[in-house]
Amino acid sequence: MIISKLSYQPVFGTSYRKVYMSDKPHMLDHESSTCCFKNDYLWNKSFDFFIDKYDNTEKVHVYSLACSDCSEALSIAMILDTKLGNESDKYFPIIAVDNDDIILNKIRNGIIDLAPDDEVRINHYTNNNLNKYLKRTGYSHLSGRIGDTDNQKLLTAFTVSPELLKKIKVIIADVNEYVDTISDKNNLIFSRNMWVYLHPNQKAYLHKLSQKTDKNSYLSIGGYDEFMCPLTIKNMYGFSMHPELLNVYDKSGSNYFDDMRTFNKVNMRDY
């Protein structure tokens, strides 16, 4: 695998790395990016599970580590509010951390840029309540080219409702250091689609996350993390792959899915 230097797309307002396959260095394997309700996660199934799990827990600490523009943190806040209403207070505020000052600017001003497909997914996961959480402005622009294609997305600025905005606490920090300060128990940690950026210190970061993950905590990673997060190769630092929730890891102690994971990966190569 060949990882490009950090690039910046000024129009898209994001920095990213491109990952190329070692045996075919001209072929883009993937590029990390973000959006609301990214489709590498079982949002309904996972949150139904978490809600049930924490039914009798007084406080749940939710972290979006490497949160980018807060698409992920807003998705979490919206789905919890949709499913639980006022009962969701114990999950808030969601702590959203990123080390890119520029990428955090819009959410600090209560703004999120959405593409049309974001709107469809938000309506899907909020029972058609996008308008409760977000208000369309008249400002739209085209994103930069996506990956090595000519595709661009039409992004429209939406203002985030004050009620939703106050459910998120935005912090500028390096996650490698911030992780030392997080709670020791009842943690819902989202550290997704960011492992490529940590190269070559993924194991050190995972080790720290492990220290903050008790048996009532969960670590969620992303679909783009398949090649760069040590967990996708082998259970490590006490983590186990959840048997039903995609990209979710816990401390249940099972290693059964090591075999399953290797099997799946080998299988995928045939497609």
Ligand X SMILES: C[S@@+](CC[C@H](N)C(=O)[O-])C[C@H]1O[C@@H](n2cnc3c(N)ncnc32)[C@H](O)[C@@H]1O
- State the residues that interact with ligand X by CB under 6 A: 15, 32-34, 38, 66-68, 71-72, 97-100, 103, 174-176, 192-194, 197, 222
Cα separation, 68 vs 70, in Å, equals 5
Helix (H, G, I), strand (E, B) or coil at 138: strand
Structure tokens that stand for 265 in this block: 């990966």
Angstrom distance (rounded) from CA 51 to CA 240: 20
Q: What is the dihedral of CA 159, 160, 161, 164, to 10 degrees?
A: 180
For residue 93, CA distances in Å to 21, 169, 243 come to 39, 6, 29
| Closer residue to ligand X in complex, CB, 62/222 | 222
Tell me how far, at minimum, the Cβ of 23 lies from ligand X, in Å: 25
Smallest gap, in angstroms, from Cβ of residue 72 to ligand X?
A: 4
- Cβ closer to ligand X: 40 or 48? 40
Q: How many C-beta atoms lie closer than 10 Å to residue 147's C-beta?
A: 12
Question: Which ranges in 94-179 belong to alpha helices (H)?
Answer: 101-108, 116-125, 130-133, 162-165, 175-178
Least distance (Å) from ligand X to the CB of residue 39?
11
Q: How far is the CB of 73 from ligand X (least distance, A)?
A: 9
Nearer CB in complex with ligand X: 91/224:
224
Q: Which is nearer to ligand X, 14 or 235 (CB)?
A: 14
Shortest distance in whole angstroms from residue 30 CB to ligand X: 10
Nearer to ligand X, 46 or 71 (CB): 71
Q: Which is nearer to ligand X, 130 or 221 (CB)?
A: 221
CB of 2 to ligand X, least distance (A): 18
Pairing of strands 248-250, 240-241: antiparallel
Instruction: Report yes or no: 134 and 160 within 8 Å, Cβ to Cβ.
Output: yes
